[in-house]
Structure 1
Amino acid sequence: MDPQAEVVRAGRAAAAAHASLRGAGPDGVAAALAAMARLLVDRAEPVLAANAADVAAAQGSMAPALVDRLRLDAARLERMSAQIEALAGLDDVEPLVGTRDLPGGLVVEERRRPVGVVGANYEARPNVTIDVASQLIKSRNAGVLRTGGAALGSAVALHDEVIRPAMAGAGIDPDAVQLVRSADRGAARALVTYPRLIPLVILRGSGETTAALAREAAAHGVRTLAHAEGGGVLYVDHAADADRLPALVERSLDRLGVCNRLNLLLVAAPRWVELMPAITETLERLGVRPSLPPHGHPLGHEWALDDGNESTVTIAPVEDAAEAARIANEETSGLAAAIFTEDAGAAERFLSSYAGTGAFWNATTRILDGFEMLGAPETGINVDHVPGPRGPVTYRDLHLRQYVVRPA
């Protein structure tokens, strides 16, 4: 299968079916999403069988944390189902944002309209197939999904057993959400080279791969929402409650292969000797290795993307909240950072200084998740320092602004 031809075919099919999805009323979209939620449970057997084959093929060639990210089980399918069911009950994006009177008996309306066909490229994360498809359906955007070979079997099963029949059963043309059935990496490059057909592409994956695709997209005039790098920061302040610290560290490391896990732990220097025994004991209990000074790597090195070293957290002393915020701003991706303190003044200094997408006080950066924080599954977390959707990107963000001038 020629990957470029397959992407073009999928893009054209999605574009042709977009009118059916865009014209679907709230009841039709809600019915499609409710059916997706139901089929995730009803059709679990073939989905889990396909996923088991993907996991078996990945054993030995993929790090354990990445295999965990690839694996589905009945409990994960039920959680995915619950999220989609909740999404079905959320309000649609209101097309009309506002109006303003103009001279001459005219009025200008600000409206939102779907992008059209949205692409998505992601690695070994089967849940993203459902997350992105549900966001596209809810926002009335057609889509072309492409995943790597490690998760392709799982993606095909989810597409054929869940997404397509749910849309068809709700009276929506199922061709509006396409899946590229090629593991060839040329398909990823092709996905970002057709601005007239697929003007926006969501990129999720390792930093190097995603950065290369973002550059390719820019060269062809395709806009991207890139989720390439992560790594949560936790600063333990002078006024931290030592008794509560181990629980917060543990909550921040419940999964190691995700972007918003604890990656860099900064400890106020005056508390270093006191707190380090409890910190190291907690990490040892979790099977996580501390990377201590002097470091042979940048402070912001993201361990979740380091095959074989995912079970690592960098730890370093800092003077105060200002230095912690500076390090989080300058040496990490800008995804998320938290301060742990009982001092409201120190917390405010940290929160106002940190420029990343999510800032937290006495809470884990794991909360930086579309469903956890905003009540809707996400397509990814955008860390760009430019106007536009930033942080968890949900269906509310997948629209274009349009101005319409008409007689009052």
Structure 2
Amino acid sequence: MTVVSESVSSVVAACAQAAHRAAPSLAAAPDSAIDGALSAMAGRLRDSSPALLEANEVDVSAAVADGMSAGLLDRLRLTPERLASMASALELLASTPHPPRSTFVRDLPDGLKLYERRRPVGVIGANYEARPNVTIDVASQLVKSRNAGVLRTGGAALGSATALVRSVIAPALSDVSLDPAAIQLVPTPDRAAASALVSQPAHVPLVILRGSGETTRTLGQEAARHGVRTLAHADGGGVLYIDADADVAVALDLVKRSVDRLGVCNRLNLLLIHSSVYESVLPQVSSLLDALNIAVSLPPHNHPIGYEWALDSTREATVTVLPVSSAAEAAEVANRETSGLAACIVTTTRATAEAFMDAYTGTGVFWNATTRLLDGFKLLAVPETGINIDKVPGPRGPVTYPDLCLRQYAVLPA
């Protein structure tokens, strides 16, 4: 259990209380105000680009001086192109229809009618890695779902996140007469603030957890002790299986497109190759990855098969390779050895693809398509708060604004 100082606890509690007070402003807001706030965020993001890039450069320079790895720096860095993409995503989200707040279910005896209603949670917390874009992604999803929020980011991105909240999010809420205090950013880089965030059940009953596996699992356990529910994105690592009947050119293209960014959870992490083509395909794969400056870990491995390289700052430019005897074994290995985030099969045979897709139990399964597609924006055309890989009922896969609600049954007279 993490020891949280009184000062850190007080800072987080103050954020939680402020968001709690502001939550009714969002809950009662009309659709036009919610979408107006998101549109205003897009406009302010564009207008504030120079200042945002300047604040981000301070974060990046400090991270470089601290020896941050290339993959983590890629996550931390903002560019004009990334800011433009973030603004476009906000505009798209603003134009996306709202789910109905009340849906008729059926008639009941005695002339009564049953409705299912959607209600906001109130305040949702989010603890996430040092990625400035996630500040906008999460905040926008919370606003769209009419939830207030308390955000806590990795210390390396705190300057960038602060600039985004002060220059984009808060003033955009004010632009449409919504309470700007609805989205709070924990102002301390102290890691203990994450533990404090999952210890506020009265004000923050649900917390989205993103980041490295062990840290996120520990926070989930702390949250459970305090009666706080979590949506956790703890582990990642995409799997790609090259079948005996694969089109090798397609397979090589997917391998290349699956390692375009090494610091993300849905990148290629484990490459499985059918044993009958292993000797012929492996040299081609190795040559391709070598040209991309990516190492190949071959058997016998001195690490777990599903080891997530994206979290290894010293060896993130690595892919694990393993021969398997069939699509069934490939699915079994993916189920047993990895987090269950996503897996792809490369094959020209439909029956083999369907057997693999039926056997794999993870969150996303792909046929002749890269696992990099397991992303809220790429799949669902809206930003995500994270990817939930829990094996229990509830939102699974990319979590977006329709998932951030409570179900309420209402019985009314006809």
Q: What SS does the corresponding residue of 2:115 show, helix, strand or coil?
A: strand
The aligned residue for residue 290 of structure 2 is 284
- 1:212-361 aligned at under 5 Å gives the runs 212-361=218-367
Matched, 1:150 2:170: no
Q: Deviations over 1:215-256 (max 9, x none)?
A: 000111100000110000000001101122221111100000
Counterpart among 11, 17, 29 of residue 16 in structure 2: 11
Q: 1:26 and 2:25 equivalent?
A: no
**Other structure's SS at 1:360 match:** strand
Which runs of at least 4 in structure 1 moved beyond 2 Å after TM superposition?
A: none
Equivalent residues of 1:231, 1:263 under 8 A apart: yes
- TM-score, normalised to structure 1's length? 0.99
Match of 1:160, SS state, is helix
2:62 equivalent in structure 1: 57
Q: Is 1:134 paired with 2:140?
A: yes
Contact 2:198 2:228 in 1 (8 A): yes
Is 2:33–2:176's contact at 8 Å kept on the other side of the alignment?
yes
Matches within 5 A, 1:142-181: 142-181=148-187
| Alignment-derived partner of residue 88 in structure 1 | 94
Report the equivalent of 1:194: 200
Q: What SS is found at the alignment partner of 1:109?
A: strand
Provide the C-alpha distance between the structure 2 equivalents of 1:243 and 1:65, rounded to a whole number of angstroms.
Answer: 27
Matched to 1:365, the amino acid is T
- Alpha-carbon distance in 2 for matches of 1:2, 1:335: 37
One-letter amino acid matched to 1:194: Q
Deviations along 1:121-142, one digit per CA (max 9) or x if unpaired, are 0121111100000000100000
User: Does 2:119 correspond to 1:113?
Assistant: yes
**Which residue pairs with 2:51 in the alignment?**
46
The aligned amino acid for 2:231 is L
**Cα deviation, residue 358, structure 1:** 0.2
Aligned residue for 2:3? Answer: none
The answer as to whether partners of 2:56 and 2:77 remain within 8 angstroms in 1 is yes
| Code of the aligned partner of 1:359 | V
Residue number in structure 2 paired with 1:392: 398
In 1: Cα distance, 2:282 partner to 2:45 partner: 44
Amino acid at match of 2:36: A
Shift of residue 107, structure 1, vs aligned partner: 1.7
1:372 aligns to 2:371 (yes or no): no
Gapped regions of structure 1 (runs ≥ 5): none
- Percent identity of paired positions between Structure 1 and Structure 2: 58
For the 8 Å contact 1:252–1:365, the answer to whether it is kept is yes
CA RMSD of aligned residues (A): 1.0
Aligned counterparts of 1:402 and 1:278: Cα–Cα separation in 2: 55
Aligned equivalents of 2:117 and 2:253: distance in 1? Answer: 46
Deviations 1:40-89 (A, max 9, x none): 11101111111101111111421111011111111111111111111110
TM-score by length of 2: 0.97
Task: Give deviations 1:326-385, integer Å, cap 9, x for gaps.
Answer: 011111000000000001010000001100000000000000000000111000000000
Q: Secondary structure of the equivalent of 2:96?
A: coil
Match for 1:173: what amino acid?
D
In the alignment, the residues of structure 1 paired with residue 412 and residue 104 of structure 2 have an alpha-carbon distance, to the nearest angstrom, of 13
Of stretches 275-284 and 56-65 in structure 1, the one that deviates more from structure 2 is: 56-65
8 Å CA contact 2:210–2:233 kept in 1: the answer is: yes
Tell me the distance in 2 between the aligned counterparts of 1:242 and 1:394.
35
Separation in 2 of the partners of 1:243 and 1:232? Answer: 20
Contact 1:93 1:139 in 2 (8 A): no
The DSSP-based 3-state class of the residue aligned with 1:2 is helix
